[in-house]
Structure 1
Amino acid sequence: MAMAGRIRSSLPLLRRMMTVPAADSFPCPRSSSAYRPLLSPSTSPSESSRNYATAPAQQGGRVKVPIAYFAGTGKYASALFISAVKANALDKVLSDLTSLAEASKRSPTFAQFMMDKSVPVADRIKATAAIADESKFHELTKNFLMVLSENMRLKHLDTISEKFTELAMAHKGEVKAIITTVIPLPAEEEKELKETLQDVIGQGKKVFIEQKIDPSILGGLVVQFDRKVFDMSIRTRALQMERFLREPIVDII
């Protein structure tokens, strides 16, 4: 009860912090209008056409990428996002990737298969196609996984899946807020925190809360969303106080 009370007392402070520019907030980079969907830095346009040739008929028009990624895994996620939106299959592909990423966490054998570079490319592609067929994945998902298999990128599936989820949520006007506390938030506190976030973010977007437990923060809470971090943990406050006390005292005459 005492912990829940401290969390509730932090909500007014959180609201004030989120309504002014935060020093530790990182704005989302602007999407590039010249962005070209690349399956990977080493994949040519002809390879892209071949690997996506069996995808469903796509709609015309340019798809705007809501978040610009520049690393290799981000390019993979962005390429799949563009294809999924054009194929009107965003939710299905998202479900496929999420279930596969979760399966890799539950199965050490499957995780080892994705990491093992000694598996011949042909065998890896064949096994990946069989998994996709058995799981009834969308054809677009299946083709994408085969691209990852061919380019030995299956080991990055978790990261690609996370970035694809971020793109899908941003596209649908959804915001995931990660709340880190020492103990699980009681339902009433979670509801109040969600309402606070919704008021600040605005009614044009829908807020989803993901709770994380981290005893090392000692108390309070840390809120992360839209690449912003609002740290109201006791650990951070203690470190700030320690730095303050270590600063030399300057006499003003």
Structure 2
Amino acid sequence: MALSREEIAARYGAALFGYAQDMKVLDPMFSQLQELKKAIEENPAIVGVLSDPILNKDEKKKTLEAIEKDFSDEIQGFLNLLLEYDRFEYIIPIIDRFDDFYDQEKLIASGTATTAVKLDDDQLKRLGDSYAKKYHLNAVRLENQVDPSILGGVILQVKDRVIDGSVKNKLKKIRAQLIDEN
């Protein structure tokens, strides 16, 4: 029975995370994986070439050597393992799973702050820091989404928790309260 994309990503991501912990290179590996992910997202053809069944292993190996030369031995070993077992097409989901384990270990959360107007980086950082302090996290990375329909305030979604402090929501509550009183 073939493994699904999610199962492959979970297994390889967990194995890579465990290996990084054992080798005591968790933080440097995290940083390098972020660089690698960014490079792959900017040049998606890399994955296509390295997972192409028509190309032989030697051609793929030469291509990979050009890419991996600036990375640590641990990352190089990981990339060669993916190439050897024909799992290169799963590299982004594997890195994402590694990131999930890393965030869990370091008590870091990611989320979305929906506002009526765009927030600057400092505002996002202060909002994330405030949330992190309240919920005993080390950090919260927030992405800003703009939705003018909320009128003002902020809707903060981190993991499965949503805090709706939007003006639209407050007006809806006031309206419901006025209707109930009549």
* TM-score computed with the length of structure 1 as normaliser: 0.54
Q: Does 1:208 align with 2:144?
A: no
Instruction: Say which of 53, 65, 68 aligns to 1:129.
Output: 65
Letter of the 1:198 counterpart: A
| Cα distance change on mapping 1:123 and 1:214 into 2, 3 Å | farther
Question: Partner residue of 1:85?
Answer: 21
The answer to whether the 8 Å contact 2:112/2:145 transfers is: no
Deviation by residue 1:151-200 (Cα, 9 ceiling, x = unmatched): 22222222211221221222223333333445421456435522431232
Following superposition, the deviation at residue 130 of structure 1 comes to 3.4
Note the 1:7-156 alignment, pairs <5 A: 71-133=7-69, 135=70, 137-156=71-90
Deviation at 1:214, TM superposition (A): 5.3
SS in 2 for 1:146: helix
Asked whether the 8 Å contact 2:108–2:141 carries over to 1, the reply is no
What are structure 2's unaligned runs of at least 5 residues? Answer: 173-182
DSSP 3-state at the match of 2:24 = coil
**Alpha-carbon separation, structure 2, partners of 1:152 and 1:77:** 15
Tell me the number of residue pairs that the alignment of Structure 1 and Structure 2 aligns: 166
Distance 1:214 1:121 in 2: 46
Q: Is the 8 A contact 2:20 2:26 kept in 1?
A: yes
Deviation of the 1:71 alpha carbon: 2.1
Using the TM superposition, give the Cα deviation of residue 95 of structure 1 relative to its aligned residue in structure 2, in angstroms.
Answer: 1.7
* Long gaps (5+) in structure 1: 1-40, 42-69, 241-253
1:118, 1:232 → 2: CA distance?
52
Which portions of structure 1, spanning 4 or more consecutive aligned residues, are displaced by more than 6 angstroms?
none
* Partners of 2:13 and 2:98 within 8 A in 1: yes
Separation in structure 2 between the aligned mates of residue 179 and residue 114 of structure 1, nearest angstrom = 37
Instruction: Supply the distance in 2 between the matched residues of 1:118 and 1:95 (Cα, whole angstroms).
Output: 32
Higher relative contact order (CA 8 A, sep 6+): 1
CA distance in 1, matches of 2:108, 2:87: 28
User: Is 1:230 the counterpart of 2:166 in the alignment?
Assistant: no
Higher helix share: 2
Task: Note if contact 1:222-1:233 (Cα within 8 Å) is conserved in structure 2.
Answer: yes
2:105 counterpart of 1:171: yes
Identical-pair percentage: 20
Question: Which structure carries more strand by proportion?
Answer: 2
Alignment TM-score, normalising by the size of structure 2? 0.72
Is the CA contact (8 Å cut-off) linking 1:104 and 1:111 kept in structure 2? yes
Task: Determine the C-alpha separation between the residues in 2 that align with 1:196 and 1:233.
Answer: 14
Opposite residue 163 of structure 1, the aligned amino acid is R
Distance (Å, rounded) in 2 between the aligned partners of 1:125 and 1:93: 22
Question: 2:115·2:146 contact (CA, 8 Å) conserved in 1?
Answer: yes
